[in-house]
């Protein structure tokens, strides 16, 4: 198994609490948040990770080096911000497997990677998205899922109960071959626009989920992420 981790974010909304490191390197219980994400990948048998880096990339490179927890670590450097889609498309050039995981470096979702890969192979889906059921939320857009297929992405609004995109994907790299742009959002410019044509499958997980994108959830991670050790 191999994965791309999108770790090039500025972390604008976290500047009030974390101002001197890339967002995925924000300290959580004395360690970079990204290390919790990579530790889980290593435990589940990931063999290679490509870190898509940009802002203050040397901080990440110096910490993780070229091997971490038995995994080979490669780096895909953005010379300028490319968006999540552009960064992923560039990083995929360093990957060899027919299915590659893509993960947001500021999100931890306790997904069973081998099981998600098995489902992707069995369905032959070009893109599989890990989803989580949540209640009483308005920060995330809900997904419309029919018989295991993601049919629509709904706008952010108060939702009593629904499934959200957990920020973990398993994809065939070829699904991005027809995208000519070098700068684009994987979520809004690609997935949301092609969900009617592309077979996007949902992989449901009830694992621990935390997104450190805003100060309140970053503080919540300080208490919750310890369950991952």
Q: Of 50, 204, 2, 4, which Cα lies nearest the Cα of 119?
A: 204
Other beta carbons within 10 Å of 59: 16
Q: Which domain holds residue 89?
A: 2-228
- Please state, in angstroms and rounded to a whole number, the distance separating the CA atoms of residues 170 and 188: 17
Alpha carbon separation from 11 to 118, 124, 206, 210, 213 (Å, rounded)? 33, 35, 26, 15, 7
Ramachandran region, residue 131 (left: φ > 0; alpha: ψ -120 to 50; beta: rest)? beta
- Please state, in angstroms and rounded to a whole number, the distance separating the CA atoms of residues 130 and 205: 7
Structure confidence at residue 195 (pLDDT): 77
Structure confidence at residue 113 (pLDDT): 98
Structure confidence at residue 154 (pLDDT): 80
State the DSSP code for 187. I
The count of domains in the chain is: 1
- Please state, in angstroms and rounded to a whole number, the distance separating the CA atoms of residues 185 and 84: 5
Two structure tokens written together for 102:
């893509």
Structure confidence at residue 186 (pLDDT): 92
Alpha carbon separation from 185 to 56, 130, 176 (Å, rounded)? 21, 18, 12
Beta bridge partners of 150: 145
Structure confidence at residue 153 (pLDDT): 85
Structure confidence at residue 12 (pLDDT): 54
Q: Does this model's pTM top 0.95? A: no
* Per-position DSSP letters for 83-147, written without gaps between them: HHHHHHHHHGGG--SSSEEEEETTEEE---HHHHHHHHHHHT-SEEEEEEEEEEE-SSEEEEEET
Which string of b and e fits 62-73 if b means at least 16 CB within 10 Å?
A: eebeeebeebeb
Residue-level pLDDT, tens digit, the chain, 229 residues? 999 999 987 655 555 556 577 888 888 888 899 999 999 999 999 999 999 999 889 999 999 999 999 999 999 999 888 999 999 999 999 999 999 999 999 889 999 999 999 999 999 999 999 999 888 776 677 888 899 999 888 877 766 787 888 999 999 999 999 888 899 999 889 988 887 788 899 999 998 888 877 666 666 777 765 445 4
The CATH number of residue 190's host domain is 3.90.550.10
Other beta carbons within 10 Å of 181: 13
Q: Of 202, 207, 33, 228, which Cα lies nearest the Cα of 112?
A: 207
Two structure tokens written together for 181:
């742009």
Structure confidence at residue 229 (pLDDT): 47
């Amino acid at each position: 198994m191999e994965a791309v981790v999108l770790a090039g974010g500025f972390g604008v909304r976290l500047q009030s609490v974390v101002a001197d490191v890339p967002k995925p390197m924000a300290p959580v219980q004395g360690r970079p948040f990204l290390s919790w994400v990579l530790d889980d990948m290593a435990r589940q048998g990931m063999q290679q990770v490509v870190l898509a880096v940009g802002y203050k990339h040397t901080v990440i490179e110096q910490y993780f080096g070229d091997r971490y927890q038995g995994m080979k670590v490669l780096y895909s450097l953005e010379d300028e911000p490319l968006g999540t889609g552009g960064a992923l498309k560039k990083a995929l050039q360093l990957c060899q497997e027919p299915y590659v995981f893509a993960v947001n470096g500021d999100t931890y979702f306790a997904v069973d990677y081998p099981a998600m890969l098995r489902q992707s192979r069995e369905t032959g889906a070009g893109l599989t998205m890990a989803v989580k059921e949540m209640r009483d939320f308005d920060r995330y857009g809900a997904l419309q899922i029919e018989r295991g297929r993601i049919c629509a992405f709904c706008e952010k609004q108060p939702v009593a109960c629904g499934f959200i995109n957990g920020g973990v994907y398993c994809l065939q790299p070829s699904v991005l071959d027809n995208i000519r742009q070098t700068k684009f959002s994987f979520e809004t410019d690609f997935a949301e626009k092609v969900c009617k044509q592309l077979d996007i499958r949902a992989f449901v997980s009830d694992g621990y989920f935390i997104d450190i994108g805003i100060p309140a959830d970053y503080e919540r991670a300080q208490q919750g992420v310890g369950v991952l050790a």
